Amino acid sequence: MLAFITRRAAAAVVILLTLSLLIFVLQAVSPGDPARAYVGANASPEMVAAERQRLGMNDPFFTRYFHFLGGLFAGDLGRSLRTRQPVVFDIATYVPATVELVVTAFLIALVLAALYALSGALQWPGAALGRGTLLLLATAPPFLLALVGIIVFFGQLGWLPARGVGDFDDPGPFGMQALDTLLHGQTDAFVDALAHLALPAVVLSIAPAVAIGRVFRSSLQAVLDVDYVRTARSKGLTELQVVAHHVVRNGIGPALSMGGLQLGFMFAGVVVVEQVFSWPGIGNYLAASIPVADFPAIAGVTLVLGAIYVVSNVVVDLLQALADPRVTAE
Amino acid sequence: MTAILVPSGRLRPLSVGSRRLSKPAAWALVGLVVAVTGLAVFARQLAPYNPIQPVGPLNLPPLSPGHLLGTDGIGRDLLSRTLIGIQVSWLSALVVVASGLLIGGTVGLIAGATGGWVDSVLLMRITDLFLALPGALVAIAIVAALGSGLVNTLIGVAIVWWPYYARIVRGEVKALAARPHVESARLAEVSRPRILLDHLLPGVVPTAVVSASLDIANVVLLLAALSFLGLGQKAPAPELGADTARALSQLLSQWWVPGVPGIAVLALSLIANLGGDAIRNLIPVRR
Amino acid sequence: MTEPVAVVDDFSLSLVRNGIRSRVLNGVNLRIRAGEILGLVGESGSGKSVLALSLLGLLPQASHPQTGGSVTVGGVNMLRAKETKLRKVRRELLGAIFQDPMTSLNPTMRIGRQIGERTHDDTESVRLLGTVGVRDAQLRLRVYPHELSGGLRQRVMAAIAVAGRPALIVADEPTTALDVTVQAQLLELLRELRDDFGCSVLMITHDLGVADQIADRLAVLYRGELVEIGPAADVIRNPEHEYTRSLLASRLSLTMPRDERFMQTGCDAEPAVRIRNLHRIFTVRRGGRVFGGSREIAAVDGVDLDIAPRESLAIVGESGSGKSTLLRIVAGLEKSTSGSVTLSGTGGPQMVFQDAGSSLTPWMSVGKTLAERLRPLELGRAEVRDRVTAALAAVDLPLEVAAAHPGELSGGQRQRVALARATMIPPAVLLCDEPTSALDASLAKSVLALIRDLRARIGMTVLFVTHDLAVARLMGDRIAVMRTGRIVEIGPAEQVIATPGEEYTRTLLAAVPEIVEAS
């Protein structure tokens, strides 16, 4: 097991280094001058040139890359062309809201996926309608779901709000409205935070729920047909015991992989959802950076989200290894 | 002596693993896909008005005379804009999937058939690296770096998309290459290129085609999302995602202006999904 | 007279397979008495496995079973009873051992826990494992199935089966996938279980020799109908039904007459196959420690062999003996780590695989596959067509087969096509890797006869690998016995069988379930 963890961790490091190199190369070819972030739009060409020299932008390629890497480790992701703040600062401000949204959405997706898969594989009566609805919703682009959600639940019914994290102030310390208000025991604010969280989280969760659900269902069905399940049944175990101990554990592998994959897609999908709901997270920050070609910001967000994605995949691999000991034997 | 046979045990409904479509239904869906493709190709000819010119009253609701889907805030005909938007979205998706299949398929074929160093170290390491990164985000970064525009968007997505096909094709090729029929071919003194073409490729094609057809919907959605974020063509070019984004402020008053292009994306995604399912039902994957 | 443990009364069953409903069992009548071992013999498609599943109440719902008659175990009709009742019967009265030990145990659950689902008590589990002959039982509780050998896994299955003190153990071909020595041990085990615990055993097998070894009574199933039943000794020595007689006739034994054509051996010409000091070492990486740590396994551990032209050498060995690896190295499909293989004569090596179906390209027609073999000769279209026709005729296949695809042919036909391809251009040596072990006995006999015919006609050198001593005796002029990568004994076939020199050979011979003739 230890060897397995080490190998995966080493692979993750290589992947992250490659990502950093990729971002660095993209930065080099991108339009827009990072130096301008430091001196402002009205600076004279001489000032810009001097700033470029100071930033080491005239050095050879690899020197600049190592400089860049060093900056990464020191927590310096450059300066945003739009906000003129250090990108790290911007990200730190906006990340918690995104984490809150993505985690909630992912949990909802897991629950929906489990229901989808179990109801399908075990053939619960009447569940086909629910699955069909989910399937239909999943074919829609998330921004459309968001729009429809707003029109229906806000415009027509007035049940849920359409923008932002909450009408109250965030008491801190995490920067996550729902969590913080809960920790402080402010029930009104907490309920309000949940109401704001509901629509964006559900919209974000639908496509992953279906993707994971389908894979999980098909692997459950495959396992139900397998020899050792027949053995388990021949022992006289109840169907629940058979499913819980023999079927789920062996069928969950592909679903875990898909879960990891979907988590990655969620980090991209969150950009659109946050924009529609004016959710103050880094998705929204990224969406605002695009029209003005604020590449340092875009690069910074990609790096941070990319790192989170890679790490979460390592965790998924570990979970898979725990579920199926054969994985570590490779 | 015929015994009277009675169904035994608890009768469960027919298990529907993957929806078993009847042959006619499957072909009908494939026909639908072909029809949409035709629509996309001839969109300019089919559009009643010039999509970028104001041609009518502002914000006309759908089913108004002369404007089937209404007009937007500048008076442009929504039907025309949507048709061109469909052309862009659908054909772009086809191009991306085709190039991904071609590049990824070739890489996967070579990797799977060659094995050894070329496979595990060179080709698959690169593929794995790409797969380990969050594709959509990297696509955003690439397009942002290259500058927004249709061609750059297609390049960005294609770069991120081919590894998926490489992995699938390689897996299929490896599974096939391990089977005795390939070894028998080697013993029969069949040349290596011939083994690739005659004994490996035909076995890979069904799976690759099925994967690709199921994938079109994903690409449609990703392109629409990128367009929504402003990474596609510049205004006033009609694009489904971008049109939705630009009209967000009218959501609660004239819902159709952002709604119609969004629904068009939904329709494309739905047809692509059903078509992909139909193709999967029609193509037997020989084991 | 005590109550029978299980009663099958006028049982008929139809199933839907590939969209077609067919009658699988027809009016089967059977009583399994307490404490008896009932053998059930039949070839593939006879319905014996579904009968086993019916006794367990585990008919696959996906095949929409329709039944007539009854299958009663301990008074409960396993076809109609409610799930809760069925489970009770399975827990208290039944035990099951299935054919494939690799897939019958949950790969992600430790052995102890899987046995524990029946015993609910670790001490009892340890005791049971001891009973079935698993050493270091306490340690094995913590082990996963993939860490055990096939024989050990079947013993674990036996332990699970016996755990509930069942009245009836349903064993569906429990030894088919095992080596012959392990098979002998497992059969012995089943006998002991019957003696010690008094349980009955329904022993399903396709091998009459196995049935003869262990069964008290024997029932014969043919196309879903029970054609003969009686005391095992009677059924085997005085079969009444024609089918039983044909089953016995197609059985390969160590005493049946050998082929007259190959009686003389000995030829001093240059050997057709010369193997010198052949080694093949695999390094297996073991997980667990930080830097792995690898183990070296010698699949082939120093083999020296000469095969004379037109001679047939049969290599016999159990799984893990290295015989298949040796064959593949001679074929050129794998590389040796050291040593040499020299083939004299033209034509190169040709090989016939165990699974004929997967050795033919599924999307190429038979005609195309055969024509492809002739490409190096650069013949004209007409000549190619003639030679393909001739090749098909040589293996007793009609010309229409050329247009067919492998999926449309039967197993026996596919093996013939493979043989045609391998012998179209006379090879330097014909390598056979257990070509008949996946075929029914009657089919196997005819395919083996065909190989001998081809050999006589073309004058081929043959290297035949098998785990079955009877087949080896039939096919080889000489027999070489392989064990853990080395040849432990080699000599003229009859001599090795009649007067084996090595201990291991004797063990192998003793383990073969032979039918001892009455006279």
The verdict on residue C125 lying in a domain is no
In angstroms, rounded to a whole number, what is the distance separating the alpha carbons of residues C105 and C457? Answer: 48
Is the per-residue pLDDT at A329 higher than 90?
no
Q: Tell which of A219, A235, A317 to mutate to test the C interface (max C CBs under 10 Å).
A: A235
Chain A hits for B29, CB-CB cut-off 8 Å, are none
Selection from B139, B286, B117 nearest residue B210 by Cα: B286
The verdict on residue C132 lying in a domain is no
Nearest to C109 among A1, A245, A330 (CB): A245
In angstroms, rounded to a whole number, what is the distance separating the alpha carbons of residues A87 and A81? Answer: 9
- Residue by residue, DSSP assigns C398-417 as -GGGGGS-GGGS-HHHHHHH
Considering only the C-alpha atoms of chain C, give the largest distance between any 2 of them, rounded to a whole number of Å. 77
The verdict on C225 and C313 lying in the same domain is no
The verdict on C304 and C224 lying in the same domain is no
The encoded tokens of residue C99 equal 């054919």
The verdict on C324 and C367 lying in the same domain is yes
The verdict on residue C153 lying in a domain is no
CB contact under 8 A, B187 and C372: no
In this structure, the number of other CB atoms found within 10 A of the CB of residue C468 comes to 19
Q: Please, is C22 exposed, middle or buried when counting C-beta atoms within 10 Å of its C-beta (0-12, 13-18, 19+)?
A: exposed
Mean pLDDT of chain C: 87
Domain, as residue range, for C10: 6-104+166-249
The encoded tokens of residue C300 equal 């082939």
Beta strands in C193-347 (DSSP E): 200-205, 217-222, 225-231, 273-285, 294-307, 312-316, 338-343
Mean pLDDT to the nearest integer, C90-100: 90
In angstroms, rounded to a whole number, what is the distance separating the alpha carbons of residues B272 and B254? Answer: 29
- 3-class secondary structure, B284: coil
Nearest to A141 among B146, B221, B248 (CB): B221
The answer to whether C96 faces chain A, any CB pair under 8 Å, is yes
The verdict on C184 and C38 lying in the same domain is yes
In angstroms, rounded to a whole number, what is the distance separating the alpha carbons of residues A200 and A104? Answer: 10
Chain A hits for B15, CB-CB cut-off 8 Å, are 123, 221
The encoded tokens of residue A34 equal 């990072």
Q: What is the pLDDT of residue C291?
A: 46
CB contact under 8 A, B179 and C358: yes
Which residues 6+ apart lie within 8 Å of C81 measured at CB?
A: C57, C89
Q: Please, is A41 exposed, middle or buried when counting C-beta atoms within 10 Å of its C-beta (0-12, 13-18, 19+)?
A: exposed
* Nearest C-alpha in A relative to B133: A306
Is the per-residue pLDDT at B19 higher than 70?
no
CB contact under 8 A, C66 and B202: no
* Nearest C-alpha in B relative to A28: B145
Please report which confidence band the pLDDT of residue C168 belongs to, taking 50, 70 and 90 as the band edges. very high
CB contact under 8 A, C363 and B187: no
Would you list which residues of chain B are within 8 Å, Cβ to Cβ, of chain A? Answer: 12-13, 15, 17-18, 129, 132-138, 140-142, 144-148, 217, 221, 224-225, 228-231, 241, 244-245, 248, 251-252, 255, 258-259, 262-263, 265-266, 269-270, 273
Share of chain C above pLDDT 70, in %: 96
Please report which confidence band the pLDDT of residue C148 belongs to, taking 50, 70 and 90 as the band edges. confident
Q: Whole-model pTM above 0.90?
A: no
Chain C hits for B183, CB-CB cut-off 8 Å, are 333, 351, 353, 359
The verdict on C334 and C452 lying in the same domain is yes
CB contact under 8 A, B269 and A140: yes
The answer to whether C106 faces chain B, any CB pair under 8 Å, is no
What does the pLDDT look like over C302-357, one tens digit per residue? 999 999 888 999 999 988 888 989 999 999 888 889 999 998 877 789 999 988 88
CB contact under 8 A, B183 and C10: no
Distance from CA of C61 to the nearest CA of A (A): 11
Chain C hits for B179, CB-CB cut-off 8 Å, are 358-359
Q: Which of A205-209, C191-195, C343-347, C481-485 has the lowest mean pLDDT?
A: C343-347
Our count of domains for chain C comes to: 2
- 3-class secondary structure, B64: strand
Q: What is the pLDDT of residue B284?
A: 67
The verdict on C204 and C339 lying in the same domain is no
Please report which confidence band the pLDDT of residue C266 belongs to, taking 50, 70 and 90 as the band edges. low
Distance from CA of A254 to the nearest CA of C (A): 15
Mean pLDDT to the nearest integer, C379-394: 92
The encoded tokens of residue C496 equal 């090795």
What domains are defined for chain B? 21-45+76-282 (1.10.3720.10)
Exposure string over B168-202, b if 16+ CB within 10 A, otherwise e: bbbebbbebbebbbbbbbbbbebeeeebbebbbbe
Mean pLDDT to the nearest integer, A264-288: 88
The verdict on C244 and C264 lying in the same domain is no
Distance from CA of A318 to the nearest CA of C (A): 15
Domain end call among C223, C249, C275: C249
User: Which residue type does A144 have?
Assistant: L
Q: Residues B197, B201, B204, CA angle at the centre, nearest 5°? A: 175
Mean pLDDT to the nearest integer, C367-386: 90
The verdict on residue C141 lying in a domain is no
Q: Report whether C359 contacts C418 (CB < 8 A).
A: yes
Is the per-residue pLDDT at C160 higher than 70?
yes
Nearest to B6 among C66, C349, C350 (CB): C66
The answer to whether C94 faces chain A, any CB pair under 8 Å, is yes
The verdict on C237 and C316 lying in the same domain is no
The answer to whether A302 faces chain B, any CB pair under 8 Å, is yes
Is the per-residue pLDDT at B283 higher than 80?
no
Residue contacts between A and B (CB atoms, under 8 Å)? 142
Q: What is the pLDDT of residue C285?
A: 61
Selection from B241, C108, B46, B37 nearest residue A271 by Cα: B241
H or E element at residue C465: strand C462-466
The verdict on C455 and C481 lying in the same domain is yes
The verdict on residue C517 lying in a domain is no
Mean pLDDT of chain A: 85
The verdict on residue C334 lying in a domain is yes
CB contact under 8 A, C287 and A4: yes
Is the per-residue pLDDT at B16 higher than 60?
no
CATH code of the domain containing C362? 3.40.50.300
The verdict on residue C481 lying in a domain is yes
Selection from C25, C32, C6 nearest residue C68 by Cα: C25
What does the pLDDT look like over C270-312, one tens digit per residue? 888 889 999 998 877 654 443 455 678 888 989 999 998 889 9
Q: Report whether C233 contacts C214 (CB < 8 A).
A: no
CB contact under 8 A, B8 and C359: no
In this structure, the number of other CB atoms found within 10 A of the CB of residue C146 comes to 13
User: Which residue type does A317 have?
Assistant: D
Q: Tell which of C91, C104, C168 to mutate to test the A interface (max A CBs under 10 Å).
A: C104
The answer to whether A329 faces chain C, any CB pair under 8 Å, is yes
What does the pLDDT look like over B165-198, one tens digit per residue? 888 888 888 888 878 888 888 888 888 888 888 8
In A, residues 171-200, which contact B (CB 8 Å cutoff)?
none
The verdict on C279 and C243 lying in the same domain is no
Share of chain B above pLDDT 90, in %: 28
Nearest to A234 among C96, C105, C146 (CB): C96
Q: Which of A216-230, B138-152, C190-204, C257-271 has the lowest mean pLDDT?
A: C257-271
The answer to whether A31 faces chain B, any CB pair under 8 Å, is yes
Mean pLDDT to the nearest integer, C58-65: 85
Q: What is the pLDDT of residue A53?
A: 79
Q: Report whether A304 contacts A126 (CB < 8 A).
A: no
* Nearest C-alpha in A relative to B146: A30
In angstroms, rounded to a whole number, what is the distance separating the alpha carbons of residues C22 and C64? Answer: 11
H or E element at residue A204: helix A187-224
CB contact under 8 A, C364 and B198: yes
The answer to whether C231 faces chain B, any CB pair under 8 Å, is no
Q: Which of A26-40, B148-162, B214-228, C218-232 has the lowest mean pLDDT?
A: A26-40
Please report which confidence band the pLDDT of residue A328 belongs to, taking 50, 70 and 90 as the band edges. low
Neighbours of A (≥3 Cβ pairs closer than 8 A)? B, C
Selection from C448, C171, C433 nearest residue B183 by Cα: C433
The verdict on C265 and C230 lying in the same domain is no
Q: Report whether C467 contacts C318 (CB < 8 A).
A: yes
Mean pLDDT to the nearest integer, C150-166: 88
The verdict on C419 and C498 lying in the same domain is yes
Distance from CA of C280 to the nearest CA of B (A): 18
What does the pLDDT look like over A87-111, one tens digit per residue? 888 998 898 999 899 999 999 999 9
Higher pLDDT, C119 or B18: C119
- 């008491």: which residue's tokens? A171
CB contact under 8 A, B229 and A141: no
Selection from B126, C173, C53, B70 nearest residue A231 by Cα: C53
Q: What is the pLDDT of residue C132?
A: 85
Q: Are strands C37-41 and C200-205 parallel, antiparallel or unpaired?
A: parallel
Domain end call among C249, C279, C302: C249
* Nearest C-alpha in A relative to C284: A330
The verdict on residue C343 lying in a domain is yes
Q: Residues C19, C24, C29, CA angle at the centre, nearest 5°? A: 155
